[in-house]
Amino acid sequence: MNEKTPPRRPATFKLDDPGVVVMDPDDSGRLSRGTIQIVPEAEPAQLPVPVDTPLLPERRGFRWGTLFWSAVGGLVLLGSGLGVLNLVEDLFARNEGLGFLGLALAVIAIVALAVVTMRELVGLARLATIEKLHLRAAEVLISDDRAASRTVVADLLKLAHRTPQLARARGALQSHTDDIIDGADMIRLAERELMTPLDEEARRLVSSAAQRVSVVTAVSPRALFDVLFVFVASLRMIRQLARLYGGRPGALGMIRLLRHVIAHLAITGGMAASDSLIQQMLGHGIAAKLSQRLGEGMLNGLLTARLGLAAIDVTRPLPFNALPRPVLTDLAKDLIRKRDEAD
């Protein structure tokens, strides 16, 4: 018969005791009777660091949609130019003064169109630079490449050069560019120095937009007005976030940002997360507050806040790593607190 092994009594020991053996977690060797086995825990620096992976997959292959719209735009431009040319010729045929007036207006329109087109192209190029910088920083966090981290930080400093509120942070970061720092740690240092004030301002912008949507849609009598106001407020919020992080989006840039934000929400399940949060709030005794004070406006504010968090992920030049990512729960608490104070 097998006798029951008596429970071991608590005992004290020292690490330098001959009967104490420090083993690796993967070591499966057998120990002699009476030997105490100690398996050290992994140090925090050795633990894997979560890194944001690119949420938008890279497109491959020929872009037929881009070719189609480029061709359509070229045809519209040629047709408009031909129509303006015929109009100027007709004006000259009728009256020389009217002809010169039409020609002057046509020149002004062409110059204005060229300036607007240039601004749109510059805005698109700036957004593309931020996206590439985000991807490069994420790669450095994985590879820990020191030389690549210096290049990323240098490009980040150029991007932040026009932001006056980052002058002190730029100086602090530049003082460490010649130090011996690992690549991933350099990216984390840049994130802490440059992104901390911008993240605080971004959270304030999202919270303000969500509160504004919550208040206006709560008192609005028309659903159509609610939809239009939420759409305009969301566009304004996304544009402000893009400008805060260094982007200068125009009309085409805003279309591109909206596509990326919607794709981000689709990939991360943002709307489902918002619905889950709302259900949790309803299930934790806040149903009365939502029905009496917040209602539909509160829900619209929460969805606007979730859209703002997705816009932060898209427009931010560095992935979240050293700093915590803002969560919808905190913004929801802010909304409830603000409404309670207003009431």
Question: What is the three-class DSSP state of 22?
Answer: strand
* Start-to-end C-alpha separation, the chain: 75
Average pLDDT across each block of 10 residues of the chain; the chain has 343 residues. List them in order.
Answer: 57 59 55 53 47 50 76 88 89 88 90 90 87 90 87 86 79 79 86 88 89 81 81 89 85 82 68 50 48 62 85 89 82 66 57
| Strand partners for 22 | 38
Contact 153, 187 (CB under 8 A): yes
In degrees to the nearest 10, what's the CA dihedral of 90, 95, 100, 104? -60
Rounded distance between C-alpha atoms, residue 159 and residue 180, angstroms:
23
Contact 210, 305 (CB under 8 A): yes
Neighbours of 318 (CB within 10 A): 26
Task: Note the pLDDT of residue 70.
Answer: 83
Estimate the crossing angle of helix 146-159 against helix 167-174, to 10 degrees: 160
- Encoded tokens for 48: 């894997």
Contact 315, 257 (CB under 8 A): yes
Measured CA distances, 4 to 9, 184, 297 (Å): 15, 53, 66
Task: Note the pLDDT of residue 302.
Answer: 81
Question: What is the three-class DSSP state of 20?
Answer: strand
| Strand partners for 38 | 22
Task: Note the pLDDT of residue 44.
Answer: 46
Task: Note the pLDDT of residue 323.
Answer: 87
Continuous segment of H or E residues that includes residue 38: strand 36-38
Task: Note the pLDDT of residue 108.
Answer: 93
Rounded distance between C-alpha atoms, residue 276 and residue 269, angstroms:
11
Q: Is the pTM of this model over 0.85?
A: no
- Encoded tokens for 105: 């207006």
| Strand partners for 37 | 21
Task: Note the pLDDT of residue 115.
Answer: 92
